[in-house]
Structure 1
Amino acid sequence: MDTDTPHPFVGMWVTADGHIRQELRPDGRYDEARGARKSAYTGSYTVTGNHIDYVDDTGFTATGDVRDGVLYHEHLVLYREDGTPRAADAR
């Protein structure tokens, strides 16, 4: 992943209740907090189009898709922390 130009999905994504917070970092790493548990899950991710493949540091894999500015990550629905979709999210 080119760290000079961050992917449009980079940033903080949160569930509507704020319980789960997933940070997609420009270096291709993610950090997911759950409630008061910081870094509950960490690992790497790759983006292909609007699809995200995750590999947790323990080897667990998951997927996600961004549609209309919303991140659908397995059974979770996450929104940009500031609530404002970026233009590239709507592709």
Structure 2
Amino acid sequence: MSEYISRQEFEQLEKRIEDNFKHLNSKIDSLPDRFSDKMEIALNQQLEKIRKERKDDKKSIITWSLTGTGIIVALLTFLFNFIF
């Protein structure tokens, strides 16, 4: 067996290597788009989480306010009934 390869084998290897580089280049070129899409999705998920937390906080504030007001009204009613 010879140490050398034929021209045809060399051209086939060269073509295969070029195809691999083209494939890698296309993947590298698409990275910014993929990254920006993934980043946008992550930011949207984070915003949704923040909105949900704010909504839950508003609900709890309203609940505590109504409960506190109800307790104050009940105490005042009890005191006025007790005094008068």
TM-score > 0.5 by shorter chain: no
Q: With CA pairs under 8 Å and 6+ residues apart, which has the higher RCO, 1 or 2?
A: 1
Q: TM-score range by the shorter chain?
A: under 0.3
Which is strand-richer, 1 or 2? 1
Q: Provide TM-score, normalisation by structure 1.
A: 0.14
Larger radius of gyration: 2
